[in-house]
Amino acid sequence: MMDTALFATQRAISNVFSPNEEVSLRHCCLHIMDELDRMALKLAFDTEELRDLCTSEVIAYQELPAEVARSLIRRLADIRATSNILYLPVGKPAELEAAPPGLVVVKLHQNHHLLFSAAHQQVPILSSGNVNWESVTSVKLLKIGNDNDE
């Protein structure tokens, strides 16, 4: 059974790579494992009220407009599934130029957004002074805001 699976995998790989590329099955498996081993972000909340709002659909729908609550639930699921908040495929995540560095805004719905910070005791900083988001494993939701707020 194992030989059959290995043969099928080798055959699939040989269909993708030409024989001249000399890509080993071991190399391909290691690359796949590296990609799968990336950990999803841990999500923390600045306040208990914010945590309750984000962890209870009932409270979210009571406190927020229905479209915003729906977007919040989906966006938080997306954030929990990613390994880097800046690579989030939705919500146009953007690092704010602020002092201190390390704030990220994610679009929620129309004029609503989420504001995050890195949630580490020692935030990983690059030599440029910016946060090294590749090394951030935990983010904290600071607020759900309206674009018209100050």
Contact 117, 139 (CB under 8 A): yes
Q: What is the CA radius of gyration of the chain?
A: 21
- Which pLDDT score is estimated for 15? 45
Q: What is the mean pLDDT of residues 131-141?
A: 86
Q: How confident is the model at residue 138 (pLDDT cuts 50, 70, 90)?
A: confident
Q: Which of 18-27, 49-58, 116-125 has the lowest mean pLDDT?
A: 18-27
- Residue 148: how many other CB atoms lie within 10 Å: 7
- Which pLDDT score is estimated for 38? 56
C-alpha 75/C-alpha 137 separation (Å) is 17
Q: What is the mean pLDDT of residues 46-56?
A: 93
Residue type, 78: D
Place of tokens 């208990």: 48
Summarize pLDDT for 56-112 with one digit per residue, the tens.
Answer: 999 999 999 999 999 999 999 998 888 888 888 888 998 888 767 788 999 998 889
Summarize pLDDT for 13-34 with one digit per residue, the tens.
Answer: 444 444 444 444 444 433 333 3
Cis peptide before 100 (omega within 30 of 0): yes
The DSSP bridge partners found for residue 131 are: 125
